[in-house]
């Protein structure tokens, strides 16, 4: 089979393909695996009970069930869902949005594919524009979403060592130059992979830079506020007409329903809806129908604040404590300060080889992590730090996280000798 350039691009080995393949094989195998890779949220009984109750309500209401599974929605999404999202944001945060500022996509991954390719790449006038990522490392799932890697440019973060074993990345505003080739600025908040949370001041500064350049600021809010609110520090929900805000139902416990939510100007929403119609006709209704009443009565915020956020905050605290317990005196390491998401980001100093080597060693012992190399795309300079980090997911059962960390400590110590 002879592939097009598109075919070659989307069938080559990529970080996100490796990640999803590893998860699939691990879950399918019979041997015990320690799944510290991937982004699957924890199964929280209180949250699962809500989804089960909603499904039972839907099944009892034949009209609602049949409309959910037997009717196409519009390319923007289900009207009642769009109105419920807009009303929640009006009511709780005073945002001046209507349903015309909301679009649903088949997961936020699809939303970002559409956004990046709508904004960046070759234009009719012969120019080529790029998406700028000002806080590298950034989400692995962005790296291969453009048809040409040249459409992305990453800015190396400033690295602040807080103590011997803790550090934090910051946007290096001195490196941040917005030329005429930049189509948009994009950040995740909390940042995937590091758990970093941009402060309100940093976000405001990025928004002002974007506005002055006449380009949008894209914020990936999949783990953020107002839902699922997996944020452990002060962070204000923010939106204006220059911001494209991406949200998701995945991390509130519904990853399989593939429901992404974009809040943006009507112009952006129209472009995304047009793309939706071409790529997939319409979106899945399941997640929209399940969560509509939770948006209408704000219960989605209550569940986020009282169940989801405290669970992950406590898990993060325990996991960081276990890292210090197991690594101190054995491994040269630092962990990025944990401010949100369901990930921790580990830096192994003076590693012999790279974290790709560490990844393979861990795989042989049935521990699945994600090597950091894949999160540093678009950099125009060498940075050895990119080969010294791994991302771990701490959402699994405590005993599995602890045992996985024991094995990571063993293999990292071996590779640092």
Q: Do 312 and 197 fall within a single domain?
A: no
Contacts 24+ apart (CB under 8 A), 322-326: 322/401, 322/402, 322/405, 323/405, 324/165, 326/405, 326/406, 326/409
Identify the domain boundary among 268, 297, 326: 297
What does the block give as tokens for 20?
């999803």
Residue 145 pLDDT more than 90?
Answer: no
Identify the domain boundary among 282, 297, 312: 297
Q: Do 140 and 263 fall within a single domain?
A: yes
Q: Do 143 and 247 fall within a single domain?
A: yes
| Backbone conformation region of residue 112, classed left if phi is above 0, alpha if psi is from -120 to 50, else beta | alpha
Highest mean pLDDT (candidates 17-21, 29-33, 211-215): 211-215
Structural domain for 114, as ranges = 73-297
User: 77-123: per-residue pLDDT in tens?
Assistant: 999 999 999 999 999 999 999 999 999 999 988 999 999 999 999 98
Beta-sheet pairing, 333-336 with 166-170: parallel
Query: Which burial class, exposed, middle or buried, applies to 120 when counting CB atoms under 10 A from its CB (0-12, 13-18, 19+)?
Result: buried
Strands (E), 157-258: 158-163, 166-170, 182-188, 217-220, 243-248
Instruction: Say if CB 368 and CB 22 are below 8 A apart.
Output: yes
Q: What is d(CA 97, CA 94) in angstroms, rounded to the nearest whole number?
A: 9
In a domain, 68, yes or no: no
Q: Do 86 and 210 fall within a single domain?
A: yes
Residue 20: pLDDT band (50, 70, 90) is low
Q: Do 202 and 226 fall within a single domain?
A: yes
In a domain, 179, yes or no: yes
User: 286-342: per-residue pLDDT in tens?
Assistant: 999 999 999 999 999 999 999 999 999 999 999 999 999 999 999 999 999 999 999
Name the domain count of the chain. Answer: 2
Q: Do 32 and 112 fall within a single domain?
A: no
346 in helix, strand or coil?
A: strand
CATH number, domain with residue 371: 3.90.1150.10
Q: What is the DSSP string of 149-184?
A: GGGEEEEEPEEEEEETTEEEEE--GGG----TTEEE
Q: Do 227 and 333 fall within a single domain?
A: no
In a domain, 290, yes or no: yes
Q: What is the pTM of this model?
A: 0.93
Residue 6 pLDDT more than 80?
Answer: no
In a domain, 33, yes or no: yes
What does the block give as tokens for 347?
């830096």
Residue 27 pLDDT more than 80?
Answer: no
Residue 38: pLDDT band (50, 70, 90) is confident
Identify the domain boundary among 245, 263, 297: 297
Q: Do 41 and 94 fall within a single domain?
A: no
Q: Do 96 and 176 fall within a single domain?
A: yes
Q: Do 182 and 219 fall within a single domain?
A: yes
CA distances from 278 to 11, 141, 204, 265, 275 (A): 21, 22, 35, 20, 5
Mean pLDDT within 349-362: 90
In a domain, 14, yes or no: yes
């Amino acid at each position: 089979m002879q592939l097009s350039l598109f075919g070659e691009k989307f069938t080559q080995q990529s970080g996100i393909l490796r990640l999803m393949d590893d998860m699939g094989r691990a879950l399918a195998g019979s041997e015990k695996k320690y799944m510290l890779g991937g982004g699957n949220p924890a199964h929280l009984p209180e949250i699962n009970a809500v989804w089960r109750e909603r499904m039972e309500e839907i099944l009892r209401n034949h009209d609602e069930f049949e409309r959910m599974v037997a009717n196409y929605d519009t390319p923007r999404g289900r009207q009642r869902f769009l109105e419920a999202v807009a009303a929640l944001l009006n009511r709780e945060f005073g945002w001046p949005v209507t349903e015309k500022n909301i679009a649903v996509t088949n997961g936020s991954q699809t939303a970002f594919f559409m956004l990046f390719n709508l904004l960046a790449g070759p234009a009719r006038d012969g120019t080529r524009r790029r998406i700028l990522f000002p806080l590298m490392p950034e989400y692995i799932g962005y790296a291969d979403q453009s048809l040409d890697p040249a459409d992305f440019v990453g800015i190396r973060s400033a690295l602040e060592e807080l103590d011997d074993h803790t550090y934090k990345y910051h946007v290096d505003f001195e490196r941040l130059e917005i030329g005429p080739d930049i189509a948009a600025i994009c950040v995740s908040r909390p940042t995937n992979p590091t758990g970093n949370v941009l402060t309100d001041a940093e976000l405001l500064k990025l928004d002002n830079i974007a506005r002055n350049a006449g380009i949008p600021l894209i914020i990936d809010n999949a783990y953020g506020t107002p839902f699922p609110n997996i944020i452990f520090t002060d962070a204000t929900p923010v939106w204006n007409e220059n911001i494209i805000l991406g949200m998701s139902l995945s991390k509130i416990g519904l990853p399989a329903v593939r429901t992404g939510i974009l809040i943006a100007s009507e112009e952006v929403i129209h472009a995304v809806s047009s793309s939706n119609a071409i790529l997939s006709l319409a979106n899945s209704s399941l997640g929209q129908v399940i969560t509509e009443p939770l948006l209408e009565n704000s219960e989605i915020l209550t569940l986020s604040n009282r169940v989801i956020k405290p669970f992950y905050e406590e898990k993060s605290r325990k996991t960081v404590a276990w890292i210090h317990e197991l690594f101190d005196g054995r491994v040269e390491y630092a962990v990025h300060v944990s401010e949100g998401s369901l990930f921790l980001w580990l830096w192994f100093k003076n590693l012999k080889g790279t974290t790709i080597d560490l990844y393979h060693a861990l795989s042989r012992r049935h521990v699945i992590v994600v090597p950091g190399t894949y999160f540093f795309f678009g950099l125009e300079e060498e940075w050895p730090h990119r080969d010294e980090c791994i991302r771990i997911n701490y959402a699994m059962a405590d005993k599995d996280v602890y045992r996985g960390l024991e094995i990571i400590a063993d293999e990292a110590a071996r590779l640092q000798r």
